Structures are given as structure tokens and as C-alpha cells.
Structure 1
């Protein structure tokens, strides 16, 4: 049953990736090995987008509070603290989600990568929304 849910998830992810022009490891996922490569690709992509969203937010803060150095420093410190706590929560949640998989296995790594990618995508959206009124 778990394998079927995994296959459905990969199909959905593959379909989302298919709209892009460049070929990705998520194109035409038919085997477990391709699923593992797709999960790793999605994690890397999501983490790269998360870093970009974080960097963009820092720049928006610096621009918005350009004349208020103390507020800029305080807000960036709060954001850094929130980011550290979020990372701990993400990892804790992903430990729960991957509990059924054997640590060190390819299935565990794929489940972990998928969880981190999903959480990172959600966090990217959140960071992009901050200060965007």
C-alpha cells in the first residue's frame, strides 16, 4: 500500500515538473531508481529556491528599513531565529514521516528528500509573502 502511495506521489511530482522546458530526473519516472533520483532533484531544487526566497526577504527588509538600522538588525535577527526553529521543526516532522522506512535505505532517503522538498516549498512561499502587501 505504501508503495502505491509513493508511486502516486512521484507521478504527481513528475507531472508538475513536466511543464518545464529543461529535462529533469522527474521526467518519465518508471523505476524505483528514477523515483529516488527525482526525489533528490526535488529536494535540491526546493532548497535552492528556499535560499533565494530567504535572500530576497533579507534584501526587502534592508530596502524597507534602509533608514532604520536598529530595526533592520532586529528584524533580521528575528528572521534568523525563526529560520533556525523552522529547520528544527521541519527535521522533526520529516523524522515522523519517514519513521516506517529503514534508515540508510534508498526508500528512506527518497522519503526524507520528498518531505524536505515539500516543507521547503511551503517555507519559500511563506517567506515570499512576508512584506508583500
Structure 2
């Protein structure tokens, strides 16, 4: 999976919101300050070359659609981050955020509940 720039990721997020659309539709999904139309068109073409986006042509209009889901992208990005920064260890990643107090008590309790539920599921 090729790494994306912030601009490319923002365009892909906008496309995920609408499932498919022309450059103008994608531009409508981007918050202010909006980039120029030509900038969005260029970024979409780069995403297409990288294999994240494809298009269908209707007359003179290209309608773009994502080739990767947001969930799949997030999983690949997290695996890459965990591998690069935490030696492939989810435990090290979570420990990092807990020790730095980046997770509040409510998030910790929620995580604990999710983990306990998953442990029960996997033991069955």
C-alpha cells in the first residue's frame, strides 16, 4: 500500500462519504477552505495511479469511486504504524498511550469492556 499525503487522504475521505462522484461532487464534501477544482482533479488522478480510486466515464464526465474501503485503509494504516513505531506490538502501542495519559478514564473503561468481551468470545 502506497503512503498517502494529507491532501490525498482528505480527498479519499470525501469520496468515501459519497461513494462515487465527479470532481465537483468531491469538492462539495471538502470543508472550507476548499482547494481549487484543478487541485482536487490532480489529486484524484494521483489516487487513481496509486490504485485507490478508479472511474467510469459518462459522456465527458468522469465519475470516480474508491477501490479501497475506509475500514480496509484504516486497518492497513494501523498495521503499518504499529509495525514501524511499536515493533509490531499492539501492546506496546496501547502502553505508549496509557503511560502518556493520552487516554482518559472513560476511554480506558470502554477499552477494558471491549477487551473483556473479546476475550470471552475467543474462549468459546
Q: TM-score range by the shorter chain?
A: 0.3 to 0.5
* Bigger helix fraction: 1
TM-score, structure 2 as length reference: 0.32
TM-score, structure 1 as length reference: 0.30
Which structure has more RCO (C-alpha within 8 Å, separation ≥ 6)?
1
